[in-house]
Structure 1
Amino acid sequence: MEDKILLIHPEGKKGISMNVKKYNVLQSAILDVLTIHGAITHTELITITSAEIIKNKIPFEGNIGWHVEWVKLDLESKGLIQRTKEKNKLYFSLKNNS
């Protein structure tokens, strides 16, 4: 039986369960992308993270974009990343905890 983690939605909506290994791969990829690129749009985050998973030939079952979205929401709820709005666009970046 595979280990699962319950993901949290930042608005308190019902979360989902995800395979821990899949979560760890996506969490690492998202944090790496935001470290390298800084503040990026939602579309850029999904596209770049998905491309990194494919480029690095990481085995992945399911829709990468959907899973990236849920891990992103979980990271927001845990205070690791933040969303900001500028000129009617949402941007995501690492949260500066200083």
Structure 2
Amino acid sequence: MSTFGFHPVKKPKHKRNKPTAKERGAISNEVYNAAMERSGGRCERCGSIKGLQCAHLIRRWQIDGKTTVKDVAMLCGPSVNTGTCHNWIDYTKDGKQWAVDFRDQLYEK
């Protein structure tokens, strides 16, 4: 018999103990509505009313429990379009720093 043979292993029957980053980062309707109310229906960075999205201020994998209203900001988007605030905080050094500072302000309130 070859040393590199096929040796299938059964899948474990236990469930995952810790929620995935996607589950921890999910934005509930309550969080979205509270962020929208806080922002007054405007981008929290530039004040625009067009294309608002609820954007994470930190990466999903860095969230300990569930996403709270202090972990998100209402920003103009979408994040894939250059020139939007959501794109700016996701893909630029200055934007990432702004997101950290804004989140710190929210936690101080």
- When the two structures are superposed, what TM-score results if normalisation uses the length of structure 1? 0.30
Tell me: higher relative CO, structure 1 or 2? Use CA pairs within 8 A at least 6 residues apart. 1
- When the two structures are superposed, what TM-score results if normalisation uses the length of structure 2? 0.28
Higher strand proportion: 1
